[in-house]
Amino acid sequence: MWTKDRIVKLLNTNDRAVEKAIVAIYDRQTQDEKSTSSTNHTNHRGFRQNHASKGSYYARWVNSGRRLTGHHLANARKIALQYHRQLCEVANAKASETEEQAMQQMEAEGDRAQTRREEQAKADWKARNEGPIPGTYAFTARLLAQSGLMTGEEADAWKDQMKDASMDDAPPSGEPV
């Protein structure tokens, strides 16, 4: 949370913060105030009338990619320090946006992680349930081959032999069981 003391300390110790503060205050001016470098509305936003011209000039200077130095930086610092309330509003609004974005990012990461877990669970289930159904000759033949008790060819031959034997025991079609 940004407070007056934090803003004042930052402005007194950081030249770049002064430039950003001037631009932030300028950005709160209405469009017509920006175009005339004046204050036309009593809305408690942007520069007061006594700072509008110089503050607008400094903000446009910084926005053009140049830096404030010397007495211009000192004047901009004096101006910015008088707008600590607005600067707190701007800083806290940005902090809230950043927190909201961080929360959304964490939620999205959580959703992606959940999706990965679900996909992995499906893949694991599919791997466990692929192949012959337990209790069938094919399933038993696969177990015999995987355990090394038989080769794959021997297990297939055993499976075929067992199927043929079970067919011999089956009643002829059409006869009651």
The 3-class SS string of the chain reads CCCHHHHHHHHHHCHHHHHHHHHHHHHCCCHHHHHHCCCCCCCCCCCCHHHHHHHHHHHHHHHCCCCCCHHHHHHHHHHHHCCHHHHHHHHHHHHHHHHHHHHHHHHHHHHHHHHHHHHHHHHHHHHHHCCCCCCCHHHHHHHHHHHCCCCHHHHHHHHHHHHHHHHHHCCCCCCCC
Q: What is the mean pLDDT of the chain?
A: 87
Question: Is 59 inside a domain boundary?
Answer: yes
Higher pLDDT pick, 168 / 50: 50
Q: How high is the pLDDT of residue 172?
A: 64
Question: Is 8 inside a domain boundary?
Answer: yes
Domain count, the chain: 2
Same domain as 88, residue 9: yes
For tokens 């631009």, name the residue: 23
Question: Is 14 inside a domain boundary?
Answer: yes
Looking at 34, 65, 92, the residue that finishes a domain is 92
Q: What percent of the chain has pLDDT over 90?
A: 48
Question: Is 123 inside a domain boundary?
Answer: no
Question: Is 176 inside a domain boundary?
Answer: no
Question: Is 80 inside a domain boundary?
Answer: yes
Q: Given a cut of 60, is residue 115 above it in pLDDT? A: yes
Higher pLDDT pick, 11 / 173: 11
pTM for the full predicted model:
0.56
Same domain as 162, residue 87: no
Looking at 58, 92, 126, the residue that finishes a domain is 92
Q: How high is the pLDDT of residue 171?
A: 66
Query: 86-105: per-residue pLDDT in tens?
Result: 999 988 888 777 777 777 78
Question: Is 61 inside a domain boundary?
Answer: yes
Q: Given a cut of 60, is residue 154 above it in pLDDT? A: yes
- Residue range(s) defining the domain that contains residue 60: 4-92
Q: What are phi and psi of 170, to 5 degrees?
A: -75, 145
Length of the chain: 177
Question: Is 100 inside a domain boundary?
Answer: no
Same domain as 142, residue 82: no
AA identity, residue 50: N
Q: Given a cut of 80, is residue 83 above it in pLDDT? A: yes
Q: How high is the pLDDT of residue 174?
A: 58
